[in-house]
């Protein structure tokens, strides 16, 4: 029988906060009127007022931690605009736009592109189907890119050309985790990493969401990663936002919370249970604007 030992206090690293700039959208028109992922059930009533209150707590939490939050106006008839992470991918002031796979979300793409252009970003029009930061996560110099359900392989090549960075493709195989940001969380910003070989950045991931080849890639590149339990993955524990010190997570991800504390992070619980009815959580509601 093995016993889990808590690391000695002296071995827990000190984490440093990096202030962020985010884009969010108030869920004034949130509802579930169609089904494009396993979490959505139009027959289950949604409480828009509760969704707004929970979203407001997330917004207020970011401000309290010192982050800057920009807002894009919600549009009646586009209930999923609250999941701003899907609206694009931004690095160094360049915004690579989204091209949604499902027709229900297609109109969101131009709205986000318009916001980027109006707010001083260099906009790159997408040719390939992709769902923004839902499937593109920046880790140091490299971009981890999800495929299998939403974003296409062509979008991985397109992102590599737009940003002139290495793109590491990861295949998702569990339909419950249809975007990369539902199954993998970047915990630390790491700059200046060279291509290939182990990267000593901190990430966390859910092993059952990926195929064998992708798991081997993650294990090789991130040998110190946190591997979360099925239970924590199922409550969207990995759909989290980190500033390098504070990690905003679901209050139901108790195991992940302990794992984070053992690594020196400060978990901050925010309940977005109503927005989970649409298949989104904390990270889904949070698009990072990197200037």
Burial class (CB in 10 A: 0-12, 13-18, 19+), 76: exposed
Classify each residue of 200-212 as buried b or exposed e, where b means 16 or more C-beta atoms within 10 Å of its C-beta.
Answer: ebbbbbbbbbbee
Residue 7 lies in a domain: no
The pLDDT of residue 241: 98
The one catalytic residue in 67, 156, 284, 285 is: 284
Q: Cα separation of 92 and 53, whole Å?
A: 32
The pLDDT of residue 273: 97
The domain tally of the chain equals 1
Residue 13 lies in a domain: no
The pLDDT of residue 189: 73
Q: Cα separation of 111 and 39, whole Å?
A: 25
The pLDDT of residue 190: 64
The pLDDT of residue 93: 98
Residue 10 lies in a domain: no
Helices (H), 179-288: 212-221, 230-234, 254-262
Residue 244 lies in a domain: yes
The one catalytic residue in 4, 179, 200, 285 is: 179
Query: Does residue 4 have an active-site annotation?
Result: no
The pLDDT of residue 11: 81
Residue 185 lies in a domain: yes
Residue 3 lies in a domain: no
What is the side-by-side order of every strand in the sheet holding 241-242?
A: 241-242, 246-249, 266-269
Query: Does residue 25 have an active-site annotation?
Result: no
- Give the contacts of 60 (CB within 8 A, at least 6 positions apart): none
Instruction: Walk along the chain (291 residues) and give the pLDDT tens digit of each residue.
Output: 333 445 555 688 899 999 999 999 999 999 999 999 999 999 999 999 999 999 999 999 999 999 999 999 999 999 999 999 999 999 999 999 999 999 999 999 999 999 999 999 999 999 999 999 999 999 999 999 999 999 999 999 999 999 999 999 999 999 999 999 999 999 997 644 444 544 457 999 999 999 999 999 999 999 999 999 999 999 999 999 999 999 999 999 999 999 999 999 999 999 999 999 999 999 999 999 998
Contact status, residue 81 vs residue 105, Cβ threshold 8 Å: no
Please give the distance of CA 39 from its chain centroid, rounded to a whole number. 17
Task: Supply the range of the domain harboring residue 22.
Answer: 18-288
Residue 12 lies in a domain: no
Residue 130 lies in a domain: yes
Q: What is the CATH number of the domain that holds 183?
A: 3.75.10.10
The pLDDT of residue 9: 53
The pLDDT of residue 12: 87
């Amino acid at each position: 029988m093995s016993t889990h030992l808590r690391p000695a206090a002296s071995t827990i690293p000190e984490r440093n906060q990096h202030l962020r700039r985010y884009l969010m959208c108030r869920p004034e028109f949130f509802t579930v009127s169609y089904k494009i992922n396993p979490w959505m059930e139009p027959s289950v009533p949604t409480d828009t007022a509760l969704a707004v209150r929970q979203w407001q707590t997330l917004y207020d939490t970011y401000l309290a931690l010192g982050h800057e939050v920009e807002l894009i106006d919600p549009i009646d008839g586009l209930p999923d605009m609250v999941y701003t992470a899907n609206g694009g991918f931004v690095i160094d002031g360049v915004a690579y736009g989204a091209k949604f796979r499902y027709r229900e979300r297609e109109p969101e793409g131009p709205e986000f592109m318009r916001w980027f252009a109006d707010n001083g970003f260099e906009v790159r029009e997408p040719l390939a189907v992709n769902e923004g930061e839902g499937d593109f996560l920046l880790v140091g110099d490299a971009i981890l890119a999800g495929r299998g359900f939403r974003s296409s392989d062509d979008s991985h090549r397109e992102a590599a050309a737009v940003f002139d960075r290495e793109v590491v493709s990861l295949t998702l195989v569990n339909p419950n985790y249809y975007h990369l940001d539902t199954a993998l969380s970047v915990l630390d910003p790491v700059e200046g990493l060279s291509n290939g070989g182990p990267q000593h950045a901190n990430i966390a991931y859910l092993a059952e969401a990926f195929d064998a080849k992708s798991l081997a890639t993650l294990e090789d590149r991130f040998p110190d990663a946190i591997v979360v339990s099925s239970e924590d993955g199922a409550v969207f524990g990995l759909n989290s936002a980190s500033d390098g010190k504070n990690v905003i997570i679901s209050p139901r991800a108790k195991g992940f919370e302990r794992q984070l504390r053992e690594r020196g992070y400060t978990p901050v619980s925010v309940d977005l249970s109503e927005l989970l009815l649409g298949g989104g959580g904390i990270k889904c509601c949070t698009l990072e604007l990197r200037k």
